Structure 1
Amino acid sequence: MRDLGVGFQYLVKGQRWVARNGRQYGFGLLPGLITLVLYLAALVALAVWGADFVAWATPFADDWSSPWPGLFRGFLLVVLFALGLLLAVLTFTAVTLLIGQPFYESLSEAVDRDVSPDGTAPESGLPLWRELWISARDSLRILVRAGVWGILLFGLGFVPFVGQTVVPVIGFFVTGFFLTEELTAVALQRRGVDLRARLALLRSRKTLVWGFGTPLGLAFLVPVVAVFLMPGAVAGATLMARDLLGEDIRDEDDQREGELTA
């Protein structure tokens, strides 16, 4: 259970790191803001034209007696918008990381250099287009896995009592795990650790992963909050990646001394 607290500490340390490095934090905000604008535009479009889409998709309801067509289509519209929100929450991190790959790579490297005893950071040596391709491919695989879990938990949600108590808790832990995978991938992919190895690494320290990802996942339910926490989350995930791989991390006092000396 100690790892649970350690994971949360990495989340806090990541936020502290970006607070001390304002320039990196500013650059790290850009991808999240871009993604937020795109998602808000999509949700607004869904709200404006969703009713027309539902009416087009349900021509069979035209012959129903009032008020059933309106009630039925209103229900479908609510479901459609709820699914849109759910999809936005589930994909926000992956899309933001994909859009912000160069920004977050730079941020992660800066964290590595700052906390590494020798002041160096691992480099992938791959061209940008290759890194983007690997990131997109792995994100899609993770989304598929998360989707399978989502369907399973959705079905279990109909089980009396368990579906309203245990299942939501499990859902938050599952979300935290996959969210952590997405975030640590920035640092681990740069070290040549592929998706299968990353998942095995994270499974070996589940409580550490949950301590980091579960509270972050709860915060990320609000996309605006996600924008401002994302840079620190990437920084914290880089610190945790070093821990998972057994790499040394300078403590914060040493980092401050280095900054003062510089």
Structure 2
Amino acid sequence: MANPVREVFGGVGALMRGFGLLVRRPRLFLLGALPALVTSLLFLAVIVVLIVNLTDLAAWATPFADGWDPVWQGLVRGAVAVAAVVVTVLLMVVAFTTVTLALGSPIYDLIGEQVEKELGNAPEEFDEPLWSSAVRAVRQSLGIVAASLAVGVLVFAVGFVPLVGPVVGPVLAAVLGGWLLGIEMVAGAFDRRGMLTIGERRRAMGTRRLRVLGFSVPTYLLLAIPFVAVAVFPAAIAGGTLLARELLGVPEAPQPQAPPA
């Protein structure tokens, strides 16, 4: 059985290696950041509107607490406010990933292909009709967004539990939201190998859950910070390619040795 700590840090290491691979290609890194910047500006506006109206939203969602003792009323409405922020962030990170991947699809495909070539044993080009690929991508993205909505409902319900909810809710959102994010981040490497279904990705991810969460939970938390997400997103695409290769057991080709001095 794999060492749990090593598996978690191995997942974190995939994200760090993704940064390292792209730092050596600054132009590709900047190209990958552009779609993320556009999406970040849109989603930042949503977060600002939510925060400005958070108190009114919590009061609207808990009319039953209008006549309560101020202490209990504050606890319940505070828990609802925290849950609303957590759920919004959860949905936004998943939607951010979906929208950014759609906006920058050719760039992110190029990033994944460059990682594959550098590590060796890159797959042969998989030929899928453009229309079929587009329909499949839309269908799968809608499925992931629907799953994130279900997780959001669960997290919001947990948020109503006084004292415990504001702690458990964010942890639940990070783990489940990170898992959904991981499904999208490994997609490119699976698609290049003709493994086109979400079920195939989930089964491979299920063999090394801790490694996947070690990669996807930190990525999820970083993508929740709008302008940090601009730099993290292209690195996460590279890291997701690395992670997918590990899940599929693709060996790295030996690197050429420098000639002796």
TM-score, structure 1 normalization: 0.75
For residues 102-181 of structure 1, what are the structure 2 equivalents within 5 Å?
102-117=106-121, 120-181=122-183
Residue of structure 2 in register with 1:235 after alignment:
238
Query: Does residue 94 of structure 2 align to residue 90 of structure 1?
Result: yes
* Aligned-pair CA distance for 1:168: 2.0
User: C-alpha separation between the residues in 1 aligned to 2:124 and 2:226?
Assistant: 31
SS at match of 1:123: coil
Residue of structure 2 in register with 1:203 after alignment:
206
User: C-alpha separation between the residues in 2 aligned to 1:224 and 1:172?
Assistant: 19
For residues 1-262 of structure 1, what are the structure 2 equivalents within 5 Å?
1=4, 2-39=6-43, 87-117=91-121, 120-193=122-195, 194-250=197-253, 254=255
Whichever residue aligns with residue 106 of structure 1, its letter is L
Whichever residue aligns with residue 198 of structure 1, its letter is R
SS at match of 1:159: coil
User: C-alpha separation between the residues in 2 aligned to 1:29 and 1:129?
Assistant: 26
User: C-alpha separation between the residues in 1 aligned to 2:164 and 2:44?
Assistant: 34
Structure 1: 5+ residue stretches without partners: 55-74
User: C-alpha separation between the residues in 1 aligned to 2:220 and 2:101?
Assistant: 15
Give the count of matched residue pairs.
226
Contact 1:156 1:163 in 2 (8 A): yes
* Aligned-pair CA distance for 1:163: 1.5
Whichever residue aligns with residue 29 of structure 1, its letter is A
User: C-alpha separation between the residues in 1 aligned to 2:168 and 2:101?
Assistant: 31
Whichever residue aligns with residue 231 of structure 1, its letter is P
Contact 1:109 1:122 in 2 (8 A): no
Contact 1:113 1:121 in 2 (8 A): no
Deviating beyond 3 angstroms after TM superposition, the runs of 4 or more aligned structure 1 residues are 37-44, 81-90, 127-130
TM-score, structure 2 normalization: 0.76
Instruction: Evaluate the alpha carbon distance shift between residue 85 and residue 203 of structure 1 in structure 2; reply closer, same or farther with a 3 A threshold.
Output: closer
Instruction: Evaluate the alpha carbon distance shift between residue 149 and residue 41 of structure 1 in structure 2; reply closer, same or farther with a 3 A threshold.
Output: closer
Structure 2: 5+ residue stretches without partners: 58-76
Deviations 1:149-199 (Å, cap 9, x if unpaired)?
A: 111121122223431323321221111111111111122122222111111
User: C-alpha separation between the residues in 1 aligned to 2:116 and 2:10?
Assistant: 18
* Aligned-pair CA distance for 1:204: 2.2
* Aligned-pair CA distance for 1:43: 7.0
Contact 1:14 1:235 in 2 (8 A): yes
Contact 1:98 1:136 in 2 (8 A): no
Contact 1:110 1:121 in 2 (8 A): no
Contact 1:98 1:132 in 2 (8 A): no
User: C-alpha separation between the residues in 2 aligned to 1:114 and 1:231?
Assistant: 16
* Aligned-pair CA distance for 1:40: 5.1
User: C-alpha separation between the residues in 1 aligned to 2:171 and 2:90?
Assistant: 17
User: C-alpha separation between the residues in 1 aligned to 2:176 and 2:41?
Assistant: 27
